[in-house]
Amino acid sequence: MRADAERSTMRILEAAETVLAADPNAPMERIADAAGLARATVHRRFPTRKVLLEALVEQVNERYLLALQRARVDAAPPAVALHRLTESLFELKVSHRFGIQLTGDVLSPAVIERLDLVFTRLHAAGEITAVRPQWCRQVFRALVHEVDELPPDAPELGPADSPGARADLLVRTLLGALNA
């Protein structure tokens, strides 16, 4: 694969993210335009729309996994790990909104496993009463989405729009929800 083609592939993935985030049914041509390429070129890398979507999912799963290991999910105190993970996730959301939304159904097993680890450890530490990691994951994902859609000046985020404000709110809300 020529360095040339590599760049094109990346461009396409980026363009697909931004375009499909705005309109999940956008035609391939709009993605090609956003990437500054011809539609035919997109079809050369990704023969089918389905293939392109799968590539997006895989890409997000990789970054997800990266965020999990940067959060030191298995070593750090679980509440801290959750907080760090959340911060990374919000960053991930700005550049990969569509992909994340798409992974709702098809999170990679590796990601699920690590994610569940956070919640079992939270339970073991007595920070939450909820038992099943699956349920915790569901609530987590839902709240991440809601917090993410909060406008920057929302009172829930506190006075200053500090970078960790969203993560704070999320952790607080999630622990409250899973303690009931």
Partner DNA sequence: AATAACTGAGTCAGCTCTGTCTCATTTCCG
Partner DNA sequence: CGGAAATGAGACAGAGCTGACTCAGTTATT
Cα–Cα distance measured from residue 64 to residue 137, given in angstroms and rounded to the nearest whole number = 14
User: C-alpha distances in angstroms, 148 versus 30, 32, 67, 152?
Assistant: 26, 28, 17, 9
In the set 72, 132, 161, 163, which binds a second copy (CB under 8 A)? 132
Is there binding between residue 38 and DNA (CB under 7 A)? Answer: yes
Which CB sits closer to DNA, 47 or 104? 47
Q: Interface with DNA by CB under 7 A: which range of 29-37, 64-72, 126-134, 167-175?
A: 29-37
Count the residues in the chain: 180
Cα–Cα distance measured from residue 108 to residue 76, given in angstroms and rounded to the nearest whole number = 23
Is there binding between residue 161 and a second copy (CB under 8 A)? Answer: no
- In the complex, the smallest distance separating the C-beta of residue 176 from a second copy, rounded to whole angstroms, is 3
- In the complex, the smallest distance separating the C-beta of residue 108 from DNA, rounded to whole angstroms, is 24
- State which of positions 54-93 bind DNA (CB under 7 A): none
Is there binding between residue 176 and a second copy (CB under 8 A)? Answer: yes
Cα–Cα distance measured from residue 125 to residue 103, given in angstroms and rounded to the nearest whole number = 29
Which residue reads 């990437």 in tokens?
A: 35
